[in-house]
Structure 1
Amino acid sequence: MNGGSLMNADLDRVVAHLAPDPGPGLSDGARQLMHEIMEGDPAPVAKPSAGRWRPGWRLRLTAVGAVAAAVLGATWLGPSWLGLGPDPVAALDIKQEDGYYVITVKDLYADPDNYEAQLQAAGLDISLRVEPVSAAFEGQVFPTSGERYVTEFEPIEEPGDCGKVGGCPVGLKIPIGFKGSADIRLGRAARPGEKYRSITSFDALGEPMHCVPYMNKPVAEVREMLRQRGVTIEEFSVGDPNRQPGNSETKASVPDSYLVNGGSLTEPGKAMVSVWTAPMKEEYVKNVETANGCPLS
């Protein structure tokens, strides 16, 4: 066996120890690349002259080792390192403009520790929680410090009327001189199967039953209205809406003749519907429709 073959065998053993286990290790192409490099003739080594060191073969081994390390690194880091795919991006975008930190969330599904690390790196004692919410609250920002709402923070609103409760913030401005601590909650769209952390009535602005005249209609009719909007009824809250809150009970099913007086989505495509055997007062129904900005039915 010649010197090049011995070196190849030694390199294979080194790579075997370095490669992750379990895992694919080096690809065939990567191994071939290293072998081709190793099988080349060594660079000629000149005799060292007095007072000057010439690295010769040692330098060539160093270069080969660097190539091997680069191939291994590329294998473990994945295609983004080689320019074959997107590089990981920061969860937040934090800029300084006109005396403010301007913060936007680039990854709504990142680990909360990633948000906190970036905020702390910017010198901000702030925690950020991004929570699944019903459609009306998507994008809403709610900053608090202790028991108070932080008025020093300014939301950056999407231009125009976005058709949701309280507008549609796309970012947050925090004064650069802010020295306190704060907790920020940001609403995001829920993934299938995720329970909402914040909900509102399913006839609120931005929700599927907005301006749909459903009140005092029987369950069978409202079920079809919801079905047409991609929503099924998960459960019912049964109780007299004209009495004090807390008098209702939850049931999996009720007679189709029961009348609907409200409801909310509990997760994407699933609703809790409030029903009772008697209709709501017409005055109340009109007040709800007016408050929602809907034409009176």
Structure 2
Amino acid sequence: MNDLRQLARVGDEDLAGQASGAGARTLLASIIAEEPVKEPRRPPWKRLAAAGVVTAALAAAVVLGPSILNTPGSATSYANAAMDIKLENGMWVARIKDPFADPARYEEAFHAVGLDVKLQLEPASPRQVGEIFQLGTGGDIGQSSSIAIDSDPKDCKITAPDCTMVLTLSQNASGAWIKAGRPAKADEPYANGNRATMDGGSLAGYTVGDKQVSEVAAEAERRGLKVVYQIVQPQPDGGYAMNPDDQSAAVGQDWWVWDAEDAQLGVVRLLVSEEHVIRK
């Protein structure tokens, strides 16, 4: 006879909340009345080993229970020092609490709610903070998915201390990787090139094309900007090529400016060539 199966006649409901209910008394009477089974004497360590197996099985059940209930994806919210993510009105809403955090902390938060999403925030000019530079997809993500960056409060400047960057994702966005702009520290070069002459740029409202270095550099300095250079090689089709390592030292004041980029906070990069090419 299987002794454990026989003892299982009394359920938890019979014992819950009472030390000596009817179920407990029945169990006690059954134990006392049952004739002991005569068996050859065995060394006590064998009985202890058997008891140890039962104890270990019960302990395993206690440990595994919560981990099975809290599988990845079962949560609808999660927060750590870097990000707070919640399911709101059918969309995942991630509030970036620390835009300078290790990307692994963002990934941790996404995984906690069942999303395989990678977020990388890189230094950007003020105009590009909160913009998505690159977006990749994989896994089950489809054309109908939605990924966007906004601010909280609405329409505040993300560079302001009391303004929070907010990333919203549809529930089928798992598999996405996102590269976006964050505020840059004072000594950080911007990760994504941004034309300095566009609205919000450091040379906004100023035209640099077909002007000599001396003239454009004077305007930049008037605006309190430091000037660095990138030498370009004119191409037959009117475009140009650049070698990132070919910069600065040999640039003369009579060279010609092709364009201007915001390089980092307070620094503008002029794209220049010695040859003057009239572009159509």
What's the TM-score, normalizing by structure 1? 0.54
Partners of 1:140 and 1:169 within 8 A in 2: no
Question: Are 2:147 and 1:154 equivalent residues in the alignment?
Answer: yes
Which residue of 2 is the match for residue 124 of structure 1? 115
The alpha-carbon deviation at position 216 of structure 1 amounts to 2.2
1:267 maps to 2:264: yes
Is 1:234 matched up with 2:232?
Answer: no
User: Residue in 1 aligned with 2:191?
Assistant: 197
2:135 counterpart residue number: 143
C-alpha displacement at 1:196, in angstroms?
2.1
Contact residue 213 and residue 254 of structure 2 kept, 8 A: yes
Mapped partners of 1:191, 1:92: distance in 2: 20
1:245 corresponding residue in structure 2: 240
Cα distance in 1 for residues equivalent to 2:168 and 2:81 = 18
**In 2, Cα distance between the equivalents of 1:207 and 1:188?**
16
Q: Give 1:216's aligned amino acid.
A: D
1:1-297 alignment, distance < 5 Å: 90-141=81-132, 142-146=134-138, 152-158=145-151, 170-176=165-171, 178=172, 180-240=174-234, 243-246=238-241, 249-276=246-273, 277-278=275-276, 280-281=278-279, 284=280
Q: Relative to structure 1, is the Cα distance of residues 156 and 113 closer, same or farther in structure 2, using a 3 angstrom cutoff?
A: closer
Give the AA of the match of 1:132.
Answer: P
What is the number of residues matched between the two proteins? Answer: 189
Cα distance in 1 for partners of 2:277, 2:241 equals 19
Equivalent residue, structure 2, for 1:58: none
Superposition deviation, residue 220 in structure 1? 1.7
Q: Deviations over 1:17-39 (max 9, x none)?
A: xxxxxxxxxxxxxxxxxxxxxxx
1:188-230 Cα deviation digits (max 9, x unpaired): 1221222222112222332111221332222122112212333
Q: Is this contact kept in 2: 1:136–1:207, CA < 8 A? A: yes
Shift of 1:262: 0.4
Unaligned runs of 5+ in 1: 1-87, 163-167, 285-297
SS at match of 2:95: strand
TM-score (norm 2): 0.57
- Identity %, equivalent residues: 25
8 A Cα contact 1:144 1:150, kept in partner: no
Instruction: Please state how far the C-alpha of 1:149 moved relative to its aligned partner.
Output: 9.2
After superposition, give the CA deviation of every residue in 1:242-296 in whole Å (9 maximum; x if it has no partner).
Answer: 6443277534242212222202133323333122342644xx5xxxxxxxxxxxx
**Amino acid aligned to 1:250:** Q
Q: CA RMSD in A?
A: 3.3
**1 CA distance for matches of 2:186 and 2:247?**
23
For residues 263 and 138 of structure 2, the distance between their equivalents in structure 1, rounded to whole angstroms, comes to 28
AA of the residue aligned to 1:139: G
CA distance in 1, matches of 2:142, 2:186: 31
**Structure 1 pair 278/135, CA: closer, same or farther in 2 (3 Å)?**
same
Q: CA deviation at 1:161?
A: 10
Query: SS at 1:184's partner residue?
Result: strand
CA distance 1:151–1:134, change in 2 (3 Å): farther
Shift of 1:169: 9.9
Letter in 2 for 1:154: I
Instruction: Assess, with a 3 A threshold, how the Cα gap between structure 1 residues 170 and 110 changes in structure 2: closer, same or farther.
Output: closer
